Amino acid sequence: MKNVCLITGEERFLVLQKEKELCGGVLSDNAFADMNYSVYKGNFDIRALIGDCDMLPFMSERRLVRVQDSGLFVQGKKDDTAAVAKYLEELPDTTLLLFTETEADGRNALYKAVKKHGEVFDFKRMKPYELAKYIKNKCPVKIPSEYFVACVGDDMEKLEGELEKLLVYTKGAPITQQDIDEVCSKTPEMNIFKMMDAVGKRDTAAALAVYHNMLSAKESPFRVLKMLVRQLKLMLECRYLAEKGRTPRQMAEELGILEMHARGYLEQSKNFKKADLFRGLNACYKCDNDVKTGMIDEALGVELVIIGLNDKI
């Protein structure tokens, strides 16, 4: 293990997981763990940090010094950043200096020093198709991973929790779509997909039923409107990419979505003329403006947009 590490990135679940792994590797079950552990948060005295790092571990091979959200990896603390970057050249092997930062600029002097003398773990938020691959590799049994991610969403902590529930439920058997439907709660995005399916089939009553169920589940009309805009945009984008000869897999990679979603958006788009999809988007933007200016109630405004989509087919 390197003696200095930086953990950063938007994927909070992986950040916490790596933090736990590295901390456990140093402290383990050592009875003197507390005596070999220091934490620094926010603003602190750099001299105190260096003094802690120089201290020899007590009845242990290594000691752990953690620094959380120090701001040393962004602009604003130039002198402190330079001092710590220089100190890394002298950091003893008996200390693990572990930085966990919400923000970290790769051009920063300390970032470069950590990369030179230690290791940087930058966990970027995974795209849906990447999450599907992650789940497929992690799951010990066969699982329709794209459908699972489509149903559960892109929150890794939730995905891990729902996967654990599924494995208990199926008792080691392969996981099916039916298992996912029975055990996992659906994301609002899945409901929007169902709503647009109903609109495409000219079933306004079914589309409105999905919408009202979402409202009953305490979903905000504004959030529904935002998801509806995203759905219409993706339908248009998939239509255009298909006309350029892209396959659903290529569409998924270009748009950062699941392949099954790319297929679904493309199929749904065939129920509409392009002009109607654009009119639907304009209706969404007008609804947003009308609600914000007090011209219409938000729940009613979104309902009228849904009805209008069906009228335009």
By the 10 Å C-beta count (0-12 exposed, 13-18 middle, 19+ buried), 59 is classed as exposed
Instruction: Indicate if 307 and 196 belong to the same structural domain.
Output: yes
300 has a pLDDT exceeding 90: yes
Instruction: Look at residues 122, 145, 161 and tell me which one is the last residue of a structural domain.
Output: 122
Instruction: Indicate if 152 and 82 belong to the same structural domain.
Output: no
Q: How confident is the model at residue 311 (pLDDT cuts 50, 70, 90)?
A: low
17 has a pLDDT exceeding 60: yes
Which residue range(s) make up the domain with 167? 128-183
User: Both tokens of residue 160?
Assistant: 């891990």
Cβ 288 vs Cβ 225: under 8 Å: yes
User: Both tokens of residue 197?
Assistant: 């399916």
> How high is the pLDDT of residue 193?
84
Q: What is the pLDDT of residues 132-162, one digit of tens each?
A: 999 999 999 999 999 999 888 888 988 999 9
Instruction: Indicate if 300 and 202 belong to the same structural domain.
Output: yes
Triad 140, 146, 147: Cα angle to 5°: 100
Return d(Cα 224, Cα 187) in angstroms, integer: 12
Name the one residue in this structure whose structure tokens are 């990896």. 73
CATH number for the domain including 73? 3.40.50.300
84 has a pLDDT exceeding 70: yes
Cβ 88 vs Cβ 120: under 8 Å: no
Mean pLDDT of the chain: 90
For residue 14, which of 163, 157, 162 has the smallest C-alpha distance? 157
> How high is the pLDDT of residue 287?
94
Q: Percentage of the chain with pLDDT > 90?
A: 58
Cβ 73 vs Cβ 99: under 8 Å: yes
Q: Percentage of the chain with pLDDT > 70?
A: 97
Instruction: Look at residues 122, 149, 167 and tell me which one is the last residue of a structural domain.
Output: 122
CA torsion angle 287 291 297 300 (round to 10): 10
> How high is the pLDDT of residue 313?
47
The dihedral of CA 232, 234, 238, 244: what is its sign? positive
Instruction: Indicate if 31 and 85 belong to the same structural domain.
Output: yes
Q: How confident is the model at residue 61 (pLDDT cuts 50, 70, 90)?
A: confident
> How high is the pLDDT of residue 29?
64
181 has a pLDDT exceeding 50: yes
Predicted structure pTM score: 0.67
Largest CA distance in the chain: 76
Instruction: Look at residues 122, 149, 164 and tell me which one is the last residue of a structural domain.
Output: 122
Q: What is the pLDDT of residues 248-299, one digit of tens each?
A: 999 998 998 888 889 999 998 988 889 999 999 999 999 999 999 999 999 9
Q: What is the pLDDT of residues 191-232, one digit of tens each?
A: 888 888 888 888 889 999 999 988 988 889 999 999 999 999
> How high is the pLDDT of residue 53?
93
CATH number for the domain including 232? 1.20.272.10
How many structural domains is the chain composed of?
3
28 has a pLDDT exceeding 80: no
